[in-house]
Amino acid sequence: MILFSKFALRTSFNYFQYKVNKIKDTNMLVTTTNNIEGTKILKYHGLVSGEAILGANIFKDFFAGIRDIVGGRSSAYENELRKAKDIALEEMKVEAMKLGGNAVIATDLDYETLGQGSMLMVTASGTAVTLES
């Protein structure tokens, strides 16, 4: 049973990666505005969202603390933030495609820390729509 579970998890992950790669190839429009000038919205499909929770490790925390003391930017945390944002946006696009949309409008990104600040959560949400071609 454990082998089946690992296989199912791996298959599920590979399917998600396939969907994400397919989305990246389609160049879906994602915007923070409520409409797109000069383009008619044919159908509103509803709210879509994507979430990413990433943990920072002790070494990143240690070096970020040193950066706080001496000043400067923490590239480790910036990279984690960027990765979490990209994951959340890609998950949101997958949800929009499942609903039949070809764009996401009114997109909002939220950043939160969880626990003792060792976990980072990024949430992307918006409205899936079908735009006139």
- pTM (2 decimals)? 0.71
Q: Is residue 38 part of a domain?
A: yes
pLDDT at 22: 52
Nearest in space to 103 (alpha carbons), one of 33, 52, 19: 33
In a domain, 116, yes or no: yes
Does residue 5 form part of some domain? no
CB 37 within 8 A of CB 91: no
| pLDDT for 117 beyond 60 | yes
The mean pLDDT value for 46-65 works out to: 72
Strands of the 41-55 sheet, one edge to the other: 29-30, 103-114, 119-131, 41-55
Is 10 within a domain? no
Strand partners, 90: none
Provide the pLDDT for residue 66: 55
The enclosing domain of 68 has a CATH number of: 3.30.110.70
Count of domains for the chain: 1
Tokens of 21: 């790669």
pLDDT for res 10: 44
107 belongs to a structural domain: yes
User: 84 in a domain, yes or no?
Assistant: yes
Domain of residue 117, residue span:
28-131
